[in-house]
Amino acid sequence: MGKIAIIMGSDSDLPIMQSAAEILTELNINFEITVVSAHRTPERMVEFAKIARRKGFDVIIAGAGGAAHLPGMVASLTTLPVIGVPIKSSNSIDGWDSILSILQMPNGIPVATVALNGAKNAGLLAARILSTQDKEVAKSLKKYHNSMRRSVLAKAKKVENMQKK
Amino acid sequence: MGKIAIIMGSDSDLPIMQSAAEILTELNINFEITVVSAHRTPERMVEFAKIARRKGFDVIIAGAGGAAHLPGMVASLTTLPVIGVPIKSSNSIDGWDSILSILQMPNGIPVATVALNGAKNAGLLAARILSTQDKEVAKSLKKYHNSMRRSVLAKAKKVENMQKK
Amino acid sequence: MGKIAIIMGSDSDLPIMQSAAEILTELNINFEITVVSAHRTPERMVEFAKIARRKGFDVIIAGAGGAAHLPGMVASLTTLPVIGVPIKSSNSIDGWDSILSILQMPNGIPVATVALNGAKNAGLLAARILSTQDKEVAKSLKKYHNSMRRSVLAKAKKVENMQKK
Amino acid sequence: MGKIAIIMGSDSDLPIMQSAAEILTELNINFEITVVSAHRTPERMVEFAKIARRKGFDVIIAGAGGAAHLPGMVASLTTLPVIGVPIKSSNSIDGWDSILSILQMPNGIPVATVALNGAKNAGLLAARILSTQDKEVAKSLKKYHNSMRRSVLAKAKKVENMQKK
Amino acid sequence: MGKIAIIMGSDSDLPIMQSAAEILTELNINFEITVVSAHRTPERMVEFAKIARRKGFDVIIAGAGGAAHLPGMVASLTTLPVIGVPIKSSNSIDGWDSILSILQMPNGIPVATVALNGAKNAGLLAARILSTQDKEVAKSLKKYHNSMRRSVLAKAKKVENMQKK
Amino acid sequence: MGKIAIIMGSDSDLPIMQSAAEILTELNINFEITVVSAHRTPERMVEFAKIARRKGFDVIIAGAGGAAHLPGMVASLTTLPVIGVPIKSSNSIDGWDSILSILQMPNGIPVATVALNGAKNAGLLAARILSTQDKEVAKSLKKYHNSMRRSVLAKAKKVENMQKK
Amino acid sequence: MGKIAIIMGSDSDLPIMQSAAEILTELNINFEITVVSAHRTPERMVEFAKIARRKGFDVIIAGAGGAAHLPGMVASLTTLPVIGVPIKSSNSIDGWDSILSILQMPNGIPVATVALNGAKNAGLLAARILSTQDKEVAKSLKKYHNSMRRSVLAKAKKVENMQKK
Amino acid sequence: MGKIAIIMGSDSDLPIMQSAAEILTELNINFEITVVSAHRTPERMVEFAKIARRKGFDVIIAGAGGAAHLPGMVASLTTLPVIGVPIKSSNSIDGWDSILSILQMPNGIPVATVALNGAKNAGLLAARILSTQDKEVAKSLKKYHNSMRRSVLAKAKKVENMQKK
């Protein structure tokens, strides 16, 4: 069965990144979570990325803010799929810095970028990746989509009724 | 063995999107390629996305420019991983429109966005995803990384020698 | 007599979108309001858009935030005029994402985009469209313009008097 | 039967704005076209806008570049629906200036903004507006949508065949 | 002696625009202040601008937010110098809309644009303009510059002393 | 009679800045033109600005690109009105750098900013400033406005006739 | 031994700029701190910059917001290395104005720009510069890097443990 | 005597980066130049950065485009001053991506960022850094400043003369 790594550049990213952990828990998917700073622990990052496949990870989710080098650098040191989560940190310029630092990778080294602060979608994307080899995950995702649909329909009813009053 | 779908909103996107086809060919990965317009053939898009998994696709690569709805809409109709390629089309506002239309998906429906015009990286990301279940692909990627490294080293030599002259 | 549909991607858009309902009520124009999510209920959206004209709607007002695909997708599935309201949602990048996702539609499928959070103007634009076939609405709009003018004149007086004190 | 006015701030906008004229011609819709500058002929603009409804126009399409005041000012002087076409003129800042000058109208005065240089979509939006009162136009639009769909399908075939070779 | 007109698009702009009034008062310069909306009272605006010179005004300061057409439209209706103050109003996109709507005027019709919310500088610029014909104003400005310099020197002392403690 | 100074940061700005010279010549207004670099000749700049009023200048037009400090620095060294022309130089980031460097002056030191590359409008603004004390200039401006209006009317005729053919 | 000057355009920049002072204190590096306004005390600025090298400074750290001319102007008046700190002041446009005013210096006059509000990094950069001639500073920096690394490792442990609970 | 390292992410950056080499040559400063890719040769980068000080370098100039991680990563692996040159590469989004990826470094790891494509200024900044310990370099810079000033004065004369003809 698959296993996901969730890493982040700083523990201050945890309030955002734990959404990835929560959705993976909800979908019954194994994961490990830790802090790996590209800039303050560059060698730890190299080590982490180089042995990630051997340690049994299938996907790495990496969140970072500002000049966010963690997702791209990890992607350069492994051939596993890496999902980048741009984080709007305190001195960020509206999040543009982390978005562009993660998204605009040069040819050769892809990072799967999700929306600003989109850690939940990073977890769901990791699940979609696992679902190509794991039918249980595919089923969980199917159920998750159905529940989203039902939730929208319930809200639609509520909004429609408000009008009638 | 895995199979990739490459779709694009318009045949004018082909000059960009064929980089995805080329790298997949180079890596010996099966793919199919076609045009699916979210706006001009919305029902074809719904049909395409809904049966994609059943047709044996593992990953969908979707490229689109301007208000680029194709990747996100396909992602809402399947639970396969969808990779979005923002394309800088002729009336695009420097590509910002397609980037944001693809990247900023709401919670629940992830799209793996790559760089502007980054179709080659979309192909490589698809290969990384397959590599989690297919050792041949993992090996091909390893070889590809090695050849990139060697190519940089050769260029480094050239630049260093230029200085000496 | 004409009828307007007001739809939104999420019930969290309601605080913005109800301004459209309020101005239509003020102008005595029929409308229906509900939630239709392009991403979480794509098939409901297809169904809604395809029968909108048959159900007697003249104009569809669609509000959405982030990668806002609802207005454009609805416009691709009907030939009714569709008014798009970009909404600055919580993780939006200052609203740029929803503006560009709605505005930058490709040739062939127009969306009438109004200002960020401009649901009131969406209602007024729908009224202007109806006014081309309905003299009552034209008169209501005329009255509305007059009242705006009078309100400005009153405020002008107030500001002028403040200075004199 | 309906009639459309196409106006532009300068004759240098004609290469863009004639796409509106062409699509209206194709759809068999009456229109008049002229130059009205908000800044160099402000009184002509006031006159034009104030009598537009009496002259039998149903929709006004107004294109302008830079600090584009024409669409918004015309909308403030009539209650007809006004469609604004932002134009990327020579000294424009990538078109942002005309987009924001047209889109961000204050509450009370709506402008239906289309994409940068989107004059064709402005024509199609005008046709959609007429279609709410004119079945012929509704039919023409239906046919236009069908032809777009067929054209995409033909191109899809071509792209699919390229791969097989 | 010179006289300045201060106008604004809405009374909600008053908290910003009164800085212009205050600095003019401080510099002993005559002014009148009122509300003139380009969009809700377009004819009042035309009237105001056309007779401004005859009414004895030397400079017009015009503040507006969003799609800010007031400064440019007034400039098109008079040959007096017009100073535009972009205002960051509630639904503004970080002020970019009002800045670009005021700044990017086409050749032929200049607007003297100051910083976002820069009403104080608008007042000072008006004073500089008057100073070319009025030695009293030139002297007041000289004094104002000297007091700014002294204030900075005092603050410099304070900051230098903080370090020593 | 009034006199204008036209200065620019580099002789590479001349193709843009000569539009200011041309319009002043056309309006029969005296001017002097030279190169003053804030960064490469800072002391020449200080000297120039400090004696500008004594040398009989009424208005200073200063053009600069990139991190454009010339207009703001000159404005800090004189109490004359200073008009800033942002120039889109070769390594500029679409002109945003020079616009913001000139426009966003702090409280106390105003610069009258015109559009990107808007040297012609800088000349016209200088003329408007002189017109408050010089009836000849006021008349020239009036004539200039009339000729602009007539030119638009001629072009309107041409566009209207094209349609009829 | 080296000495650093910390200057800022206004005492309102002190809450940001004192981070530079703090890190220099922590690293045992001499510095002086004061207020020098490019716009309100231009001659003080010229004086300051011209004698900075003679007064024994090795590096100048200059912070400023809005149209931030201080770092660039100081750099034009000395040949010492100048570090610019863009500050997001109250009426700043998200900090873009100060970033671009400091960063985009023309060829010939470099400014070493750090991140928005990045005064701490300005201090560290000054230390790195001194470290090329002063082994004590090089050692302090080494220690500082080590302590950053240890702090990340401790936080990583904490985050890993949270998951296990 | 000091020595500078010039590195770049790709040999396609050489046309920009050689300006750094040229100015260092002009100023008689030793340098070495090579290609080091953060993404394609991450381990070479780690090695390069870790021994840079021991190899006798005083300053590292690093140029990169797109998601430009090279300057920041090198800065995290050495305590030497690192100068980052953002490069506007072919698929760059107007250079914003490389600017923000280099500039917005987190607290702790500074990069001295220069203007977009500003390799010449990177060389000059390196020279300024050396000048704090090397009087010859300080003299060369002084001479360089003088020649810039004389060149401006010559151009000023030329522009002034043009007017007189």
* Partner D contacted by F165 (CB < 8 A): no
**D96 contact residues in E (CB cutoff 8 A):** 96, 100
Chains H and E touch (3+ CB pairs under 8 A): no
For residue F72, the domain's CATH number is: 3.40.50.1970
**Position C21 pLDDT exceeds 70:** yes
- On whether any CB of chain B is under 8 Å from the CB of C75, the answer is yes
Q: What angle (nearest 5°) sits at the alpha carbon of residue D91, between those of residues D88 and D93?
A: 65
Total domains present in chain H: 1
Mean local confidence (pLDDT), E3-31: 97
Q: Tell me what percent of the residues of chain F surpass a pLDDT of 90.
A: 93
The token duo for F154 is 């001629």
CA separation (Å) from D40 to D24, D144, E47, E74, F147? Answer: 28, 38, 16, 11, 9
- pLDDT in the model for residue C91: 81
**Can you tell me whether residue E5 is helix, strand or coil?**
strand
For position B13, what pLDDT does the model report?
Answer: 97
Which H, E and C letters describe chain F, residue by residue? CCEEEEEECCHHHHHHHHHHHHHHHHCCCEEEEEECCCCCCHHHHHHHHHHCCCCCCCEEEEEEECCCCHHHHHHHHCCCCEEEEEECCCCCCCCHHHHHHHHCCCCCCCCEECCCCCHHHHHHHHHHHHHCCCHHHHHHHHHHHHHHHHHHHHHHHHHHHHHHC
What pLDDT sits at residue C71? Answer: 98
Neighbors of chain C with 3 or more C-beta pairs under 8 Å: A, B, D, E
Please report which confidence band the pLDDT of residue B162 belongs to, taking 50, 70 and 90 as the band edges.
confident
Distance of CA G79 to the CA centre of its chain: 17
Residue F98 has pLDDT above 90, yes or no: yes
CA distances from E99 to A48, B58, C93 (A): 47, 48, 19
What is the rounded distance in angstroms from the CA atom of residue G66 to the CA atom of residue F105?
6
Positive or negative, the CA dihedral A87, A88, A90, A96 is positive
Work out the minimum CA distance from F40 to partner chain H, whole angstroms: 5
| Sheet with H59-65, side-by-side order of all strands | G30-35, G3-8, G59-65, G82-87, G112-113, H112-113, H82-87, H59-65, H3-8, H30-35
Is G11 close to E155, i.e. CB distance below 8 A?
Answer: yes
Model confidence band, residue C164 (pLDDT cutoffs 50, 70, 90): low
Nearest to H98 by CA among H12, H2, H1: H12
Whether residue H105 and residue G118 make contact (CB cut-off 8 A), yes or no, is yes
Distance from CA of B140 to the nearest CA of D (A): 22
Q: Give C23→chain B minimum CA distance, Å.
A: 29
Contact G104 H116 (CB under 8 A): yes
pTM over 0.90: yes
ipTM of the complex: 0.97
The structure tokens listed for H107 are: 């607290």
In this prediction, residue B155 carries a pLDDT of: 96
Q: How confident is the model at residue H91 (pLDDT cuts 50, 70, 90)?
A: confident
Per the CB < 8 A criterion, the answer to whether G38 and E155 are in contact is: no
Q: Helix H segments across chain B?
A: 14-26, 42-50, 70-76, 96-103, 119-131, 135-164
Question: Which tokens go with H44?
Answer: 């070479």
Q: Which of G39, G75, G102 sits opposite F109 (nearest CB)?
A: G39
Which uninterrupted H or E stretch holds D48? helix D42-50
Question: For residue B91, what pLDDT is reported?
Answer: 81
Of G103, G152, G153, which to mutate for an interface test with A (greatest number of A Cβ within 10 Å)? G152
* Contact (CB<8Å) F65/G102: no
Q: Hey, what amino acid is at C69? A: H
Residue of D nearest to C125 (CA): D110
DSSP string, B115-155: -TT-HHHHHHHHHHHHHTT-HHHHHHHHHHHHHHHHHHHHH
Does the distance separating the beta carbons of E94 and C116 come in below 8 Å? Answer: no
Q: C25-54: per-residue pLDDT in tens?
A: 999 999 999 999 999 999 999 999 999 999
The mean per-residue pLDDT over the stretch A97-106 comes to: 98
Q: Model confidence at G164, in pLDDT bands (50, 70, 90)?
A: low
| Residue partners of E1: CB distance under 8 A and separation at least 6 | E30, E134
* Digit-coded pLDDT (tens) for D72-131: 999 999 999 999 999 998 888 989 999 999 999 999 999 999 999 999 999 999 999 999
D-E C-beta contacts closer than 8 Å? 102
- Report pLDDT for D8: 98
The whole domain housing E117 covers 3-164
Dihedral pair phi/psi, residue A62, rounded to 5°: -125, 120
Could you give the CA distance from residue C51 to residue H89 in angstroms, rounded to a whole number? 48
Instruction: Give the DSSP per-residue string, H6-39.
Output: EEESSGGGHHHHHHHHHHHHHTT-EEEEEE--TT
Which value, to the nearest 10 degrees, does the dihedral of the CA atoms of residues F55, F60, F64, F70 take? 60
Q: What distance in Å separates the CA atoms of residue C75 and residue C112, rounded to the nearest whole number?
A: 10
